[in-house]
Amino acid sequence: MSNLPIEAWACWLTEPGHATWRAEALAPLGATDVLVQTLHTGISRGTETLVFRGEVPASEYTRMRAPFQAGDFPAPIKYGYINVGTVMQGPSDLQGRAVFCLHPHQTHYVVPADAVHVLPVGVPPYRAILAANLETAINALWDAGPRLGDKISVIGGGAVGLLVAWLAGRIPGCDVQLVDTQASRSEVARQLGVGFALPQDARDEADLVIHASGRPEGLSTALRLAAFEATVLELSWFGEREVMVPLGGAFHARRLTLKSSQVGHIANAQRSRWDYRRRLALALSLLTDPVLDVLITAPAPFSELPAILARMAASSSDQTLCQRIDYL
């Protein structure tokens, strides 16, 4: 089809610990395809930094594949799944529309039309980079099953943890406390309408605890804060790292439930009625609230993406929440 860019540019992990931009030939545009020009991408801090460091276990290579990934783990690989762009060519009802797609970091790309999701009215393209993390948060709360009036503790103030806390705080009667080692997260929590505490000051007797810190000590805190017969939902994914879980002490006497959650499968309670497209549509529909802008780190140009990935993967104290990358 005419007017296709001769080439695009995509971010590739060439080896663990090193990324660069490479020229990318675009596939011919079929009758049911769209050509998208990227406006923004986002970095999924937990997963993408694990991929960057080459810490995906061999047993998970297939399950961890992103929808439009190229290459294989550990490298070289083109990876990512937070992309917002404008449809340049394709079906007439999509041309010129802003869309979200689970596509890696790339300036232009061609995908089937049913792989893109039109942004709802009231959702600016830059805020749509939160969609993938919000979808994870939605699935987590489906798995957790909070009840009206619950005391809920969320351990870990990254983007996913903050989105979980924000959603939980909208449930009538629920008292939500975010627990994080960085005191600076208290202001973010305040803007999202939830409480905050450092681990040593966190309240106990929580009806539900959701762990999203990505650190073993965070899981220990989660187990400590849970009330009798409460559920601790584990959202963190540790890759190849082994984690010591303190299942001694009062773990059994308090009859705690330790449960995993992962966005790759729709939560069991919803699975018979929901599919992935409906779940992502729900996430996008919730992004009309401007308070969520507090989760988006100041934009950087796409030329800086390889360096930003390296910085985020190297530092456990980095303050980045959801890093926005601009392409225009």
**Hey, what CATH topology would domain 8-118+289-326 get?**
Quinone Oxidoreductase; Chain A, domain 1 (3.90.180)
What tokens does 51 get?
């991929």
Half-sphere exposure of 61 (CA within 13 A, CB side): 10
Identical topology for domains 8-118+289-326 and 133-270? no
Query: Is the Cα dihedral 270, 210, 105, 97 positive or negative?
Result: positive
Q: What is the CATH number of domain 133-270?
A: 3.40.50.720
Would you state the pLDDT for residue 2? Answer: 52
| pLDDT at position 1 | 46
Q: Which residues, in sequence order, are bridge partners of residue 40?
A: 84, 326
Q: Residue 305 is inside which H or E element, if any?
A: helix 305-314
* pLDDT at site 6: 66
Residue with tokens 């601009």: 326
In eight-state DSSP terms, residue 106 is B
| Distance between CA atoms of residues 206 and 233, nearest Å | 12
What does the alpha-carbon distance between residue 101 and residue 115 come to, in Å, rounded to a whole number?
6
CA distance 47 to 284: 21
| Cβ atoms 41, 107 nearer than 8 A | no
207: Cα within 13 Å, side-chain hemisphere: 14
Give the pair of three-digit tokens for residue 209.
Answer: 């605890």
**Lookup: tokens for 226:** 């849970």
Would you give per-residue pLDDT tens digits along the chain (328 residues)?
456 766 899 999 999 999 999 999 998 999 999 999 999 999 988 899 999 999 999 999 999 999 999 999 999 999 999 999 999 999 999 999 999 999 999 999 999 999 999 999 999 999 999 999 999 999 999 999 999 999 999 999 999 999 999 999 999 999 999 999 999 999 999 999 999 999 999 999 999 999 999 999 999 999 999 999 999 999 998 888 888 888 988 899 999 999 999 999 999 999 999 999 999 999 999 999 999 999 998 899 999 999 999 999 997 667 889 999 999 8
Give the span between the Cα atoms of 24 and 316, in whole angstroms: 32
The per-residue pLDDT for 5 is 66
Query: How far is it, in rounded angstroms, from Cα 221 to Cα 199?
Result: 7
φ, ψ dihedrals at 298, nearest 5°: -45, 140
Measured CA angle at 181 (ends 177, 185), to 5 deg? 60
- What pairs with residue 129 in β-bridges? none
- Residue boundaries of the structural domains of the chain: 8-118+289-326, 133-270
d(CA 173, CA 44): 31
Residue 47 has which token pair?
């997963």
